[in-house]
Structures are given as structure tokens and as C-alpha cells.
Amino acid sequence: MSTYLISVAIPVYNEAKQIYKNINIIHKILTESNINHEFILVDDGSRDNTWEELERLSSDLPNVIAIKLSRNFGKEAALCAALEAAHGDACVVMDSDLQHPPELIPQMVRLWKEEGYDVVEGVKSSRGKESVVNKVGAHLFYSILKNLSGFNLDGASDFKLLDSKVVASWNTMQERNTFFRGMSAWLGYKRTTISFEVVERKEGKSKWSTIKLFKLAINAITSFSSLPLHLVTLMGMFFLFGSLILGIYTLYMKFRGIAVSGFTTVILLLLIIGSTLMISLGIIGTYIAKIFDEVKFRPRYIISEKVASKNSERKNIGANS
């Protein structure tokens, strides 16, 4: 076995049907590659018997650390819990459904250990069997985020290997509302990519609904750019310029003694201006809501239970964060 330790951090939510089998598959691949590893499995408030399966894994496999959150805090919070509990020389973050191919982990470890990369990112070469709406929405989201923040996350995923110093830097970031893909890119460090194809899930279905994806997109955009707020100012200047022109035209027509007609025009202007004001208030409200969440400084997650394999070197893991 290798002298270094790789932490495999996996958030889990309602995966009771396949989690035991999937973790054993990953364990077998890493063992055959002589990679010394531990599993950090975070149950994000599952409603099925996922936690019982994680407890079974901690009994049957070595170096399994299972953490149960008090409720469903969301994948981003579960990732934070996993990263704060990981103490390996490097940490691999991946999903539990094997859509992130574990066969690539030995190659990621080689790039980290032999070529000195601090971050090895898994990039999707294809998005698999995904609806047209989701594909178009993802492309639009990444294009907007790139233009606003300067980070090109097109094809990015949560499948990454992070050196321990990168994990330490991540843990210093205190945002309540996190976006792992963007924030890990913001950290920098020496990084490379490795492409993979998203395979079809063998069991269950994705937990990401269109509404959840939309909320994640809004959170990501507002976390990485204040440009939407500046757009409100630009819209105000645009309508001020338009009102000046319209005002001059109205006065000109009045002095010439010509009545200004156009009831329809007035109604349309009111609708346009009213809609713009409501959109502006919505943008401002979104940022205020984020400020409200941050200043409360509530923990990202709360741990209700945690178990570890008998031979695990760490029985007491972390605290609420």
C-alpha cells in the first residue's frame, strides 16, 4: 500500500439501494491500485435507510467514517462537512452514484503525486442522458458565469482531487452559501483536468430538479459577481436618458401648439418602467437575502451522529461548522 492517504469524500442522499455496492466497487479499485484510502461518507438527511447502510459499511470495510447530518442541508453543505472531516494527504470529491467513474481515481492520484498538480479536475466530455432543457440551461448558466466572474466552468463537475493544502484553504472560506465548483476554482493552485463521460445511473434518479438547479445557478452568479446590481444602475440611466428625450419632445410639441397623442405609448412606458423596477427590486432583494444569511452566521450543517470503522485511526470527527 502507498505511504500517503487519500480521503474519498462523498455526500449521500437517499441512496440506500446502491450505496453499499458502490462504495465496495470504489474500495476494490483503490485497493487493487495499492492506494491507501479512507471514506468520508456524509448522509445529508436521507429519508430512506441510507444511514443504516453507511453503518453497515463502517462495520464491513476498514477506514470508513460516516457522518449523519441532522436534516437535509443540501449537497453543498454535505460537501463542506466531508471536506472538514478529511485529513488525508489529498482528498477526492465525488458523487455516490458512480456517474463520476472511480476508475479514473488512480490516474488522478498519479497526476497529483508524480506530476505535482494540486488540483485535478474531472471535466465532462459529454453530459450523458440529460434533457434538452437542462443542457441548454447549463450552457447558458456557464456562459453567464464566465462573463460575470471570468471563470470558465463549462463541463466542470464536483469530481476533483484536492491536495491537503487546497482543502485547508477551502476550510478557511466562511461563506454560508457555498458553490463548490466556483469556489474551488477561485482558490487557484497548480491544476490540470481529466475528461470523463457521464454514465447512466444504475439505480434511482438524480436528486437535482429543475428548480434546485435554478436556485443553485442564482446562488452561484450572485456569489461571484455584483454585476447584476450594476445593471440596475445602467437600466436607471437608460430610462433617465429616454425620459429626457421624451420630455424635450413633449415640450417642443406643446410650444408648437400640437397636442401630444399616444395613450397606448404611455401605457407601454408605464408597463416597461414598472417591470424594470420590479426586476431591479428582485435583484437587490436577492443580494440582501444573501447578506441576511451571511450575517446570521448559522452553521452550514449540524452533525447528529457519526460512526467509524473499528480500525479507523480517527473515531472523533470534526464539529458543527
Q: What is the pLDDT of residue 318?
A: 45
Mean pLDDT value of segment 109-136: 74
Burial code (b: 16+ CB inside 10 Å, e: under 16) for 4-37 equals: ebbbbbbbbbbbbebbbebbeebbebbeebebeb
**pLDDT class for 87, splitting at 50, 70, 90?**
confident
**pLDDT class for 299, splitting at 50, 70, 90?**
confident
| Residue 249 predicted with pLDDT over 60 | yes
Nearest Cα to Cα of residue 14 among 92, 86, 95, 131? 95
Nearest Cα to Cα of residue 312 among 83, 120, 10, 65? 65
Cα-Cα-Cα-Cα dihedral of 94, 97, 101, 102, to 10°?
70
pTM score, whole prediction: 0.65
| Residue 204 predicted with pLDDT over 60 | no
Please list the residues that pair with 10 across neighbouring strands. 41
**pLDDT class for 96, splitting at 50, 70, 90?**
confident
94-103, 110-119, 150-159: lowest mean pLDDT where? 150-159
Query: Could you give phi then psi for residue 255, rounded to 5 degrees?
Result: -65, -25
Distance CA 25, CA 42 (A): 18
**pLDDT class for 309, splitting at 50, 70, 90?**
confident
Mean pLDDT value of segment 217-222: 64
Mean pLDDT value of segment 200-223: 60
Q: To which residue does cell 463502517 refer?
A: 58
In CATH terms, the fold of domain 6-132+155-205 is Spore Coat Polysaccharide Biosynthesis Protein SpsA; Chain A (3.90.550)
Mean pLDDT value of segment 145-161: 68
Q: For residue range 7-55, list pLDDT tens digits in order.
A: 999 998 888 888 888 888 888 888 888 888 889 999 888 888 888 888 8
